[in-house]
A and B are shown apart, each in its own frame.
Chain A
Amino acid sequence: MNKLGTKKLDMQKLLAPAALVILYIFFSIIGNNFLTFDTLKNILESSYYIGFMAFGVTFVIIAGGIDLSIGTVMMASALLGAYTFKQHDWPLVASLILTVGVGTVFGLLNGGLIAKLKLPPFIATLGTMMMAQGAGSIITNVQSQTWPTATEPVGGWFKPVFIRSELFGAKNFPVGAIWLIAFFIIAALILHKTKFGRYNYAIGSNEEAARLSGINTDNWKVGIYTLCGAFCGMAGIFYAAAYTTITPGTGNGQELNAIAGVVIGGTSMSGGAGSMVGTIIGVFIMSVLKNGLSACGLQNHWQTFFTGVVVIGAVLLDIQRTKAANRVKKG
């Protein structure tokens, strides 16, 4: 009986990748100019920053928490990076480090509020979400900030390094994809192969049992949220590389895109289960869906609508999957 059960579960693991491939083929057939290098590049470029946020928040969600601040923290990071670079003439490298640093600090703050001061994650990160949004506006005096474009003499290397450059014979090779995959591998290694990752699952599955096993769960939780913050900082860099101009007061709502990606990838909102592969596939499904629908000439409200349909569908599927699995076990 168990053999039967496992087989079925493995099939379901393939569901998300299969959906991605099917969607891609589907849009290639009916979309306008969908099956082109340009479109592929667009799909990739619009998934970098969501991808990084999603990697970060995957850790948090698997640990049974939630981080609503990722969107605005990403924006605040990118905003402050650009601010120090443009207004205070910092070297670009220093600004980039600051960008990741700001995200990390917000992550640390989240972790402290949740693990040490015992605030519910929803409330704590709702607070930091607003704080990050406000902080960005305060420091920049509500002025939008720009990162250097490829043609600028100072920091012109920013975009070629992070988003696209002439490489492997392609004029606009999506370099960001290499970064994304590299950090995907790092994130996956951390989650699946390290003690940190193992405790991550344990905390999400049963925090009290983990604590009673001698795991200092509070400290690990701080670590988990801090890591998530660092990923948001990196997301800020890639957002900046893709969109150059950062407007204060934005970022609200981006967290939901990332969380949706994680959920589509099969990570359970109740914690203890999920994978990094699922997350990256979930992010790509959303990205393909968005680009594909606009290749069909549908405006963004439609894209948002369909993303919603897919999120609900993915979760329904997940529920079915758990039900089926439980049924097999009980007998």
Chain B
Amino acid sequence: MKKLTALLLALVMTFGMVACGSKTNDTTTTPSTGDTSSTDTTDTGDTGDTSTEDTGSGEKLYIPVMAKGFQHAYWQAVKQGADQAAEELSVEIYFAGPASETNIDEQVNMVKTELAKNPKAMALAALSTDSVTEILAECAEKNIPVIGFDSGVPGDTTGAVKATAATDNEAAAAIAAEKFGENETVVAAMQNATSDAPIVIGCLSQDAVSASVTGRTTGFVNKMAEIAETYQPGKVSIEGHTTWEKKVENPAIIIRVEVSATTEATSLQTSASALLGMEGITAIFCSNEGAVTGFLAATSDGSDLGEGGKYEGLVVAGFDAGSAQKNAVRNGWFIGSVTQDPVQIGYQAVALAVAAANGEEVADVDTGAKWYDATNIDDPDMATLVYD
């Protein structure tokens, strides 16, 4: 009995040690100090709460980078950019995110734990601003500058957030609407639409919670409505979710916003199938990688969109990248997709955090968005933006 207890405890502890040890190897360090880094790492935190202003010396700056997730290739690209900046600026970063983008509690716990280590600055992509308000207040009080990235920390009132490195989501999604406006199939459909046979333009979003997805949805819906109005004035109805709802009687063009019940792929697939099953469906915009994944799952990995497929002729645009989406674009199943520059986001987040930690004034950085389609997807300067 006692033996078993001892064994169990020993096991847990050994695992703990091994795991703690292995972590040190994961952390990004500059090659020049790589050989001594494993001992340095533990020290960094300890000195963090004793020394206050000494950042220029041999001790490397420790910056937690709190992402919204890990699950999509997108976040891996962000991490790549962050790692790159860490290496160039010779700082140590800790990149982490919750297992799922709805796990607000997980992220809050994570941020709290990092804050307990008294870092010099922190980069944060908050799942919910309200949930981290108290934490931000604490940062403001302790003079720990916070840099927002990706969707950032919208609506922060504590003053802790000094700058944000992000894409202008509304503007980015509007690009997709404009592309629909230039597409012959969609234009023809809009012209020929009547109240008796209305056409549907869908927007598939994974939630109505996160600022980035709602921003994109808003950007797309508004721009699309604006374009549609030029063809069918007064007959454009926005339906599907109360946030964007603007219904009119006898519409000729229906812009349908489909928000999935959860962010899981199966749930998005269900929503995508609902859109695909609608009478008069003409075009669909998927507002992030998750939505694209769900959509592709609902269309036999996209092959239903190709020649002879069930949904041949449906005009589809995506957002973000990832290998499945790239494949769909390359095959012409999607007319194209909008991409942010995740590498740049990660890079700028760390760069801004370092600057802020060193007491410099920092300002927001727009990390930009680009349209890519079958023609330019393999261009070298585009290839760096569209991650796998």
Contacts and interface: CB of A to CB of B under 8 A. Distances in A.
A122 interface: no
26 contacts: A30-B20, A33-B117, A33-B118, A36-B116, A39-B116, A141-B208, A141-B242, A142-B207, A142-B259, A143-B243, A146-B128, A150-B134, A245-B127, A245-B128, A250-B103, A293-B16, A295-B113, A296-B23, A297-B41, A298-B20, A300-B98, A300-B110, A313-B12, A316-B8, A317-B8, A320-B1
Interface in A234-277: 239, 242-250
B131 A245 contact: yes
A192 interface: no
Contacts of A8: 1
A15 B112 CA distance: 30
Given A33-B117, A295-B113, A250 B102 contact: yes
Given A137-B261, A297-B94, A249 B102 contact: yes
A310 B41 CA distance: 28
A239 B108 CA distance: 12
Q: Which 8 A-B pairs have CB atoms at the shortest separation, nearest pair first? A: A245-B128, A249-B262, A32-B45, A296-B20, A38-B116, A144-B209, A297-B23, A244-B131
Instruction: Please tell me the size bucket of the interface on A.
Output: 35 or more
Given A143-B209, A146-B130, A297 B1 contact: no
A90 interface: no
A309 B12 contact: yes
Contact of B113 (A42, A134, A137): A42
B133 A320 contact: no
Interface of B: 1, 4-5, 8-9, 11-13, 15-17, 19-20, 23-24, 27, 41-42, 45-46, 48-49, 94, 96, 98-99, 102-106, 108-110, 112-113, 115-118, 127-128, 130-131, 133-134, 137, 157, 207-209, 241-243, 259-263, 267
Given A33-B49, A294-B113, A302-B19, A141 B241 contact: yes
A321 B1 contact: yes
Contact of B16 (A19, A26, A42): A26
A307 B116 CA distance: 22
Given A22-B9, A46-B109, A142-B207, A306 B115 contact: no
B134 A159 contact: yes
A291 interface: yes
A144 B262 CA distance: 11
Nearest to B95: A299
A244 B157 contact: no
Nearest to A239: B105
A172 B349 CA distance: 30
Given A142-B259, A147-B130, 14 more contacts: A33-B48, A45-B112, A141-B208, A144-B209, A244-B128, A244-B130, A245-B131, A247-B104, A249-B263, A292-B16, A295-B116, A300-B106, A306-B12, A313-B12
Interface string A61-96: 000000000000000000000000000000000000
A149 interface: yes
Interface-centre pick from B8, B45, B46, B109 (highest chain A CB count, 10 A): B109
Contacts of B207: 142, 144, 247
Nearest to A163: B134
A329 interface: no
A290 interface: yes
A186 interface: no
A143 B208 contact: yes
Interface in A7-36: 8, 12, 15, 19, 22-23, 26, 30, 32-33, 36
B14 to A, nearest CB: 11
Nearest to B26: A297
A154 interface: no
Contacts of B157: 151
A147 B104 CA distance: 14
A310 B131 CA distance: 30
